[in-house]
């Protein structure tokens, strides 16, 4: 009996259909799904970032972004890293201005940063002194004066030594705040001085007239100077005289501050050298505007001697990264503002002329 060979016949009663190989989905189908997933992910991430920015902006606007000094931490930046005692380095870099917080990542203006650092130096017994590092062309009259007063109060009430170290530039308001310190050291290449006040205002009256542009100012007949120094009206010498009177008053305040900070100079000598000019470090030392020329190490050693300690770590107070900082990519502390950025903030909220302890050449 022979074995059956080949494919057995199908059962009776069932139709037979020809079979075809199944076709897979085209590559374009899977590519479309992948692109759709990327689009959804991108939209979701942008919504999260937008929400984070809105929340952060609202917190800063209502003063909630930095409500506690706990949002800041100390970072070692020099000195003896093994030492228990510490010197707090307080940097003032760029134009001196207490500006409004930007949309994301604002750490406050110059005045609030100095105030916050001095609060820490008051309560922390391991901080034995303050090194004020100044690299600034100056800035607002009131902002500079507030920092000066805070430093003077700290010295008189706490008694810890405060030494100023001048960087590339410590002009006008930059020198003003340094006068609050008990000792001023400048780098060999420092530019300082520019003791004086300036108020600048654009006048576009002639150009506006050529273009047919006029500004209508409606004031009371009893307030003829209400629109004084408007850029759209001709320059009036009586208005300039009023502004110059205020400038002279603020200049006298500047001279008084220098006299308080440099007691070895008499007022007549200060007025002679306070004509607005800048000085090199060597010239400033010869004139008595600074105490010495050196480096940050020299300033640190001086602070250690005055604080009667053998060595110290140098620390800076920096903003601690939060959830939104990490989410928005703030993986490292923001660098200090440049002079251009500082000036942008300084002049960005102005609606008219402003009195400044500022050296325009330091832009």
The secondary structure element, H or E, covering residue 176 is helix 173-178
Tokens of 58: 């609202």
Q: Which runs of E-coded beta strand occur in 237-307?
A: 278-280, 292-293
Backbone φ and ψ for 302, nearest 5 degrees, come out as: -65, -45
Tokens of 167: 């960087």
Tokens of 256: 């008084």
Dihedral sign computed on CA atoms, order 123, 128, 131, 132: positive
The secondary structure element, H or E, covering residue 315 is strand 313-319
Q: How far is the first Cα of the chain from the last one, in angstroms, to the nearest whole number?
A: 111
Annotation marks residue 125 as catalytic? no
- Provide, for the chain, the percentages of residues in helix, strand and coil under a 3-state DSSP scheme, each rounded to the nearest 5: 40, 20, 40
DSSP 96: B
- Contact between 59 and 65 (Cβ < 8 Å): yes
Angle at 114 between CA 348 and CA 97, to 5 degrees: 15
3-class secondary structure, 243: helix
Could you tell me the CA-to-CA distances from 15 to 182, 221, 231, 305, 337 in Å, in that order? Answer: 108, 110, 98, 107, 85
Query: 144, 172, 194, 230: which is the annotated catalytic residue?
Result: 172
Annotation marks residue 172 as catalytic? yes
Residue 204: Cβ-neighbour burial (10 angstroms; 0-12, 13-18, 19+) = middle
- Contact between 339 and 362 (Cβ < 8 Å): yes
Residue 131 makes CB contacts below 8 A (sequence gap 6+) with 87, 88, 89, 90, 163, 165, 296, 299, 300, 303, 314
Query: 42, 126, 200, 226: which is the annotated catalytic residue?
Result: 226
- Contact between 320 and 333 (Cβ < 8 Å): no
Catalytic residues: 172, 226
């Amino acid at each position: 009996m022979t074995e059956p060979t080949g494919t057995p016949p199908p059962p009776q009663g069932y139709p037979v259909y020809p079979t075809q190989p199944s076709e897979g989905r085209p590559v374009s189908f899977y590519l479309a799904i992948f692109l759709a997933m990327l689009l959804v992910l991108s939209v979701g991430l942008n919504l999260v970032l937008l929400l984070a920015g809105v929340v952060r902006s609202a917190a800063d606007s209502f003063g909630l972004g930095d409500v506690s000094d706990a949002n800041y931490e100390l970072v070692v930046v020099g000195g003896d890293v093994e030492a228990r005692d510490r010197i707090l380095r307080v940097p003032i870099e760029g134009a001196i201005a207490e500006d409004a917080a930007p949309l994301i990542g604002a750490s406050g203006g110059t005045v609030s940063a100095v105030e916050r650092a001095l609060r820490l130096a008051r309560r922390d017994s391991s901080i034995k002194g303050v090194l004020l590092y100044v690299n600034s062309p100056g800035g607002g009259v009131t902002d500079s004066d507030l920092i000066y007063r805070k430093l003077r109060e700290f010295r008189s009430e706490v008694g810890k030594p405060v030494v100023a170290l001048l960087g590339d530039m410590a002009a006008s308001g930059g020198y003003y705040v340094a006068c609050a310190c008990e000792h001023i050291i400048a780098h060999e290449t420092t530019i300082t001085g520019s003791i004086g006040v300036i108020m600048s205002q654009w006048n576009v009256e002639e150009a506006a007239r050529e273009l047919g542009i006029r500004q209508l100012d409606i004031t009371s007949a009893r307030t003829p100077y209400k629109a004084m120094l408007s850029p759209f009206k001709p320059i009036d010498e009586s208005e300039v005289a009023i502004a110059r009177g205020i400038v002279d008053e603020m200049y006298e305040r500047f001279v008084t501050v220098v006299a308080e900070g440099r007691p070895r100079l008499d007022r007549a000598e200060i007025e002679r050298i306070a004509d607005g000019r800048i000085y090199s470090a060597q010239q400033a030392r010869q004139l008595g505007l600074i105490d010495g020329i050196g480096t940050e190490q020299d300033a640190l050693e001086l602070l250690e001697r005055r604080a009667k300690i053998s060595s110290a770590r140098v620390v800076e107070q920096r903003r601690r990264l939060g959830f939104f900082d990490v989410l928005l990519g703030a993986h490292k502390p923001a660098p200090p503002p440049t002079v251009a950025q500082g000036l942008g903030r300084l002049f960005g909220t102005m609606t008219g002329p402003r009195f400044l302890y500022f050296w325009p050449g330091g832009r």
